[in-house]
Amino acid sequence: MANKAPAEDRIGVNQMCETQEIHCPKCVPPDTFITADIPVPIKELSEGDKIADTRLGKTQIANRISKVFTHQYDGDLIIVKPQGCLPLELTPEHEVLILPAEKVNYGKHRVKLGQPTWVKAIELTRRPDPCKPYSSGHYLVMPVRKGSYGNHRVSMAKFTTPHGQEILKRRKLSHFLPLNESIAWLIGLYVADGNVSKDSLIQISLHSSEVDKANRVLTVSSTIGLKASIKPIENEKAIAVLIYSRVLSRALKEWCGDNAKNKRIPKFILDSCSDKLLQAFLKGYIDGDGSRHESKQNLPTIQAKTVSRVLALQIQVLCARLGQLISIREVDNSKPSYYKGKEIRGNGKAYGLDFFAGPVGELLGLEQKPRRLKYGVKADYIGVPISKIDRKPYIGSVMNLTTTLNSYCVNNVIVHNCGRFFGYQAIMLGVVKLKCPNCKEWTTIEIMPEA
């Protein structure tokens, strides 16, 4: 008979004898964001949830969670900071998919990477020294999301009633929203600067000098039969574009969020098979949130800022599909600032997005030649160098997943699931045999997933 794991050890941390406990060594803190259609903290995931596909070079399929585990941990966490990505916090034994840098030639803007392999977090090495023409190091793997949505329209029927649909027919309007570049641009602008008012009006706030963008919103709205108007915002150097549609306002609220903290890219845009739709959405977003700057190296850049971590991670995924790694950095947002003529109250943490010259930068109007690339771009993935590795003490809960593809993405880079420790088949069957190093006895242990 299998020994039942203690209820408090949710991962099946079993006391095989009085002096030895067995833990899954590969875990992350509960607030760690897992890449999915909408990135979500691992503590909010459950069995059956779908997360990002981690296969390289294949058609997108569902990567579903088989089990969720959690237990108490007292020890060091390895903090891995990939260049241009948010940091990962991992237990030392947690394996990460890496590409070894066999040769790095910065003079020719070229990175030669080896084959993907798994390496423990404690064994990772930071990126090669850019002062040396050839060196070795580990690059993390960011998969390029595959397009899977090929429809040219999206239904809004769920956002109205049968009576409402009859009204739409009488007005010769459709409950389908066409998916073209103009609509994708409008959705991008809404994600940057839009919200839904209490009376179900769509409001997009712009600087008073951005009349051309406001007029474009009016034109796009008229193409789908919607009325819109431009109104000045009192006591501010800003204007509001109002779109009068309760159906579309409900749809945008669900698809994209309705305030700065919960803004996100809708799935039918992120998974679109059309690069032109992705480009149009990104242009709309940058038209709303972007601004031009110069980097410390006097290179032209476009910067944007959002308080939505979900949106920042999604923008990075979208740009990876377009062939470029864009940088995400945490910025202090505690102080009020002014944007497009109106005061923005600080609310703690925000995320800066940096767009440099490259395929995406050229799309956004950055004409300068790309700077020396310190990452490797392939058709199916981007190799991201590690800029810094640190560690910190940690006492508290840690978690892990078992997934159908044996891996998942943390902050958009691939890490292994817990199946490699116990063995994938053992996880699926729910039992595993382990030998206690103290008493030397073999014990059959029942793995205890989170309820």
**pLDDT tens digits, the chain, 451 residues: what are they?**
333 333 333 333 333 344 444 556 779 999 999 999 899 999 999 999 999 988 887 666 788 999 898 889 999 999 999 999 999 999 999 999 998 887 655 555 566 788 889 999 999 998 655 544 445 689 999 999 988 888 899 999 899 888 777 777 777 677 889 999 999 999 999 999 999 988 889 999 999 999 999 999 999 999 998 999 999 988 888 999 999 998 999 999 999 998 899 999 999 999 999 999 999 999 999 999 998 887 766 778 899 999 999 999 999 999 999 999 999 999 887 766 555 545 555 567 899 999 988 889 888 888 766 555 567 788 889 999 998 999 999 999 999 998 988 899 999 999 998 765 444 444 444 444 554 544 555 555 454 444 3
On whether residue 4 sits in a domain, the answer given is no
Same domain? 328 vs 412:
no
Of 330, 345, 377, which residue constitutes the final position of a domain?
377
Same domain? 55 vs 87:
yes
Same domain? 412 vs 271:
no
Same domain? 41 vs 114:
yes
Question: Helix H segments across 308-363?
Answer: 309-321, 359-363
Q: pTM of the full predicted structure?
A: 0.84
Return d(Cα 30, Cα 147) in angstroms, integer: 30
The gap from C-alpha 163 to its chain's centroid, in whole angstroms, comes to 38
Please report, as a single letter, which amino acid is at residue 247.
Answer: V
Q: Coil, strand or helix: which one is 281?
A: helix
Same domain? 180 vs 204:
yes
Whole-number pLDDT of residue 107: 53
- Spatial CA neighbour of 179 closest among 253, 258, 271: 271
Half-sphere exposure of 371 (CA within 13 A, CB side): 17
On whether residue 145 sits in a domain, the answer given is no
Return d(Cα 264, Cα 38) in angstroms, integer: 7
Of 337, 353, 377, which residue constitutes the final position of a domain?
377
Same domain? 311 vs 345:
yes
Whole-number pLDDT of residue 105: 57
Whole-number pLDDT of residue 200: 83
Of 377, 403, 419, which residue constitutes the final position of a domain?
377
Locate tokens 């991962």: which residue? 11
On whether residue 239 sits in a domain, the answer given is yes
Same domain? 159 vs 224:
yes
Task: Let me know the angle formed at the C-alpha of 70 by 67 and 74, rounded to the nearest 5 degrees.
Answer: 150
> What does DSSP assign to residue 274?
-
**Count of domains for the chain:** 2
Same domain? 320 vs 291:
yes
Segments forming the whole domain that contains residue 216: 153-377
Same domain? 322 vs 191:
yes
On whether residue 102 sits in a domain, the answer given is yes
Return d(Cα 428, Cα 178) in angstroms, integer: 43
Whole-number pLDDT of residue 3: 39
**Residue 260 belongs to domain with CATH number:** 3.10.28.10
